[in-house]
Structure 1
């Protein structure tokens, strides 16, 4: 099965779930529990829509641009007059 077929199957099942939730809501009323079930079903619908959007995107995933890191040594002045991270300032002592 392709991703498209799987998403279509999930969407059909979710549509049936939403219809069933609607029928239950009519029979049981809109109490707290029913509102939670309705909210969960709505979140599922939104999540499936997001999955569908992602799956219909470009066939190849975009790779982040590579960053070249120079082999030249760093400027030593970058490391002077700074606190050692996690150790505090040089002239102070731990409590």
Structure 2
């Protein structure tokens, strides 16, 4: 599935959630703290999905950076002659 398809599926689910919350509000009354929190959470989810949709669209139009080829040839070992072995300490010192 593509990102667009997944976002569309999420959007449909959120639409269903909005309708269900609306029905609950009618049945329970819209003044209670609990139903207002559920309504607010559903609204935040809608906003977050809208932001995701915008980010996905921007990412789709963005140009991918060129790939850099890394050679398989071994590095010159003289590059590391002046460094300590990581995690082992210096060669001429002992651990406490």
For 1:58 and 1:33, the matched residues in 2 are separated by: 37
Q: Match of 1:86?
A: none
Give the aligned CA root-mean-square deviation in angstroms.
Answer: 1.7
How many residues get paired?
A: 63
For 1:61 and 1:21, the matched residues in 2 are separated by: 41
Q: Match of 1:55?
A: 56
Residue 37 to residue 5, structure 1, CA distance change in 2 (3 Å): same
- Larger proportion of helix: 2
Structure 1 runs, 4 residues or longer, greater than 6 Å off: none
Pairs within 5 Å for 1:1-95: 1-30=1-30, 31-59=32-60, 60=62
Displacement after TM superposition at 1:61 (Å): 6.7
